């Protein structure tokens, strides 16, 4: 199997491959987290680093899939992947009941498409809030433009959501239909949220999770006295990078 990922999806596919005895190659941006790369390799997957952002890795992975005939597992532009990510929302509803709002970090849009689809079907009054780092908000820019566009992004600690959107991605249409509110957060906001979480709950999370929490903090006055959920979508960050972010 072949996939492309800035880390978390690649790790999931690598684990599936190891469990099933199937060889996996993960195409990943050169700037991806070393902790995520090491975790993927620990699952016996081959890692191929690609110059450029997450979209460049996706395009190269698709090209190699066509050349080799090996199946390509998209990180977000796939109905089954989206449905799998929607199981997070099922767990939230089973464990916590209905919510007034949920906050989800957005990269390619697969995670929020899955989660948002479930909430719209099972708890339609719940507001779905998409959260982006201001430095890397390709889907946000595309939604404002009404079509998938490519923008220049800056470095962000939220490497899990960075990178462009695959042309024709089904997640674009789903995000148009599902996201009720947008939250753009600064790098300082993200780092402050990561620090707050470790101070209050002793949880060390990666930048993408910090994006969702920072988005909630931005809108907190609007939801005072209400019930909200924040999807903390990853803990794959090196200790050194984490300490540098929260100090």
As a whole number, mean pLDDT of residues 205-220 equals: 97
Final residue before a domain boundary, out of 73, 106, 124: 73
Residues 113 and 233 in one domain: yes
Residues 160 and 108 in one domain: yes
As a whole number, mean pLDDT of residues 198-209 equals: 96
Residues 86 and 69 in one domain: no
pLDDT band at 33 (very low <50, low <70, confident <90, very high): confident
Residues 58 and 99 in one domain: no
Number of structural domains in the chain: 2
Residues 139 and 156 in one domain: yes
> What is the model's pLDDT at position 182?
98
- Domain of 128, CATH number, reads 3.40.50.1100
Ramachandran quadrant class, 156 (left: phi over 0; alpha: psi -120 to 50; beta: rest): beta
Residues 29 and 118 in one domain: no
pTM score, two decimals? 0.93
> What is the model's pLDDT at position 36?
84
Please say if the pLDDT value at position 6 is more than 80.
Answer: no
d(CA 60, CA 166): 12
Residues 69 and 107 in one domain: no
Please say if the pLDDT value at position 224 is more than 90.
Answer: yes
Residues 67 and 86 in one domain: no
As a whole number, mean pLDDT of residues 4-30 equals: 93
d(CA 239, CA 170): 35
Residues 225 and 167 in one domain: yes
d(CA 71, CA 82): 17
pLDDT in tens, 129-153: 999 999 999 999 999 999 999 999 9
Q: Which residue, among 69, 71, 75, has the nearest Cα to 28 in the 3D structure?
A: 75
Residues 24 and 116 in one domain: no
Residues 43 and 151 in one domain: no
In three state form, how does the secondary structure of the chain look? CEEECCCHHHHHHHHHHHHHCCCCEEEEECCCCHHHHHHHHHCCCEEEEECCCHHHHHHHHHHHHHHHCCCEECCCCCHHHHHHHHHHHHHHHHHHCCCCEEEEECCCCHHHHHHHHHHHHHCCCCEEEEEEECCCCHHHHHHHHCCCCCCCCCCCCCHHHCCCCCCCCHHHHHHHHHCCEEEEECHHHHHHHHHHHHHHHCCCCCHHHHHHHHHHHHHHHHHCCCCEEECCCCCCCCHHHHHHHHC
Beta bridge partners of 127: 101
The mean pLDDT of the chain is 95
Final residue before a domain boundary, out of 18, 38, 73: 73
Residue linked to tokens 């099933």: 20
> What is the model's pLDDT at position 59?
94
pLDDT band at 231 (very low <50, low <70, confident <90, very high): very high
Which residue range(s) make up the domain with 175? 79-246
pLDDT band at 161 (very low <50, low <70, confident <90, very high): very high
Please say if the pLDDT value at position 7 is more than 80.
Answer: no
Please answer whether residues 172 and 138 qualify as being in contact, where contact means their C-beta atoms are separated by less than 8 angstroms: no
pLDDT in tens, 86-96: 999 999 999 98
Final residue before a domain boundary, out of 73, 104, 132: 73
| pLDDT > 90: percent of the chain | 85
Residues 69 and 121 in one domain: no
């Amino acid at each position: 199997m072949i996939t492309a990922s800035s880390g978390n999806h690649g790790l999931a596919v690598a684990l599936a491959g190891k469990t099933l005895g199937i060889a996996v190659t993960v195409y990943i941006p050169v700037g991806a987290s070393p902790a995520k790369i090491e975790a993927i390799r620990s699952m016996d997957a081959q890692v191929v680093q690609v110059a450029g952002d997450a979209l460049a890795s996706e395009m190269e992975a698709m090209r190699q899939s066509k050349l080799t005939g090996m199946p390509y597992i998209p990180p977000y532009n796939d109905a089954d992947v989206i449905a799998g990510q929607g199981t997070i929302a099922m767990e939230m509803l089973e464990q916590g009941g209905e919510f007034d709002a949920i906050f989800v970090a957005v990269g390619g849009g697969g995670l929020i498409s899955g989660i948002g689809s479930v909430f719209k079907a099972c708890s339609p009054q719940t507001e779905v809030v998409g959260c982006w780092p201001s430095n890397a908000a390709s889907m946000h820019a595309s939604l404002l433009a009404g079509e998938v566009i490519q923008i220049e992004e800056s470095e962000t600690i939220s490497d899990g959501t960075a990178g462009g959107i695959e042309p024709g991605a089904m997640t674009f249409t789903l995000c148009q239909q599902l996201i009720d509110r947008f939250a753009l957060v600064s790098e300082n906001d993200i780092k402050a949220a990561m620090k707050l979480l470790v101070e209050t709950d002793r949880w060390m999370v990666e930048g993408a999770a910090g994006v969702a929490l920072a988005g909630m903090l931005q809108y907190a006055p609007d939801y005072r006295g209400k019930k909200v959920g924040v999807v903390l979508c990853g803990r794959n960050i090196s200790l050194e990078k984490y300490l540098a972010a929260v100090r």
